[in-house]
Amino acid sequence: MGMNTRYVKEYFYKKKIRSMFVWNLEIIAVILLAAAFSWFFCRSVVVQEGSMEPTLVPGERVLMDSAWYRLSSPKRGDIIAFRTSEDKKASIHIKRVIALPGETVQIKDGQILINGEVYNEKDEFPAITNAGLASEPITVGKGQYFVLGDNRNNSEDSRHNGMGLRTALSESSGLRFRRGRKSVSCKRSIEGEET
């Protein structure tokens, strides 16, 4: 009987080691899959300018989804990230989509007009003091978006640089990022360039 218990102990010992080995392999596989997913589909970007204050402040780190706009188009109100040139070393700018392709946008008396109607945003932003190029009606071209920074009176955006954002890679999609104790939701984002 003493030999049978020895075999039983060895059997359970081997089974325990085998299950721990399998469990460790599963953990390693999950970590590798998560790393591959984040490498191919996500990117961390540091906000470099104050044009999106108070929504985003300089120095904040934002997690961006680089696959979203391969399946979808930017919507009004989405936060997008883009480069102003094709150079991969060019800084990334973050702005909010205001007008979509085919729409006419104008800034008059501090208010944004889209297709002649006042655009009421969900968040409250100060009245725009400098309409720039949008003081006259502008029709947004195919594949382009009219963007503004949330810090409307201190932002270099479509009012000053034209509107050319060509759809290329997405950058953020409903992911959350933390700023101190406050958690903020960043809708979507796109990486593109001026045309």
Task: Find the catalytic residue in 66, 95, 172, 189.
Answer: 95
Question: What are 107's two structure tokens?
Answer: 């800034």
Distance CA 156, CA 186 (A): 20
List, in sequence order, every residue forming a beta bridge with 170; answer none if it has no partner.
190
At residue 104's C-alpha, the angle toward residues 195 and 133, to 5°, is 60
Distance CA 103, CA 188 (A): 20
Asked if residues 110 and 129 have their Cβ atoms less than 8 Å apart, the reply is: yes
CA 15 to chain CA centroid, nearest Å? 47
Task: Find the catalytic residue in 15, 16, 44, 51.
Answer: 51
Tell me whether residue 91 is one of the annotated catalytic residues.
no
Asked if residues 81 and 190 have their Cβ atoms less than 8 Å apart, the reply is: yes
Tell me whether residue 51 is one of the annotated catalytic residues.
yes
List, by residue number, the catalytic residues: 51, 95
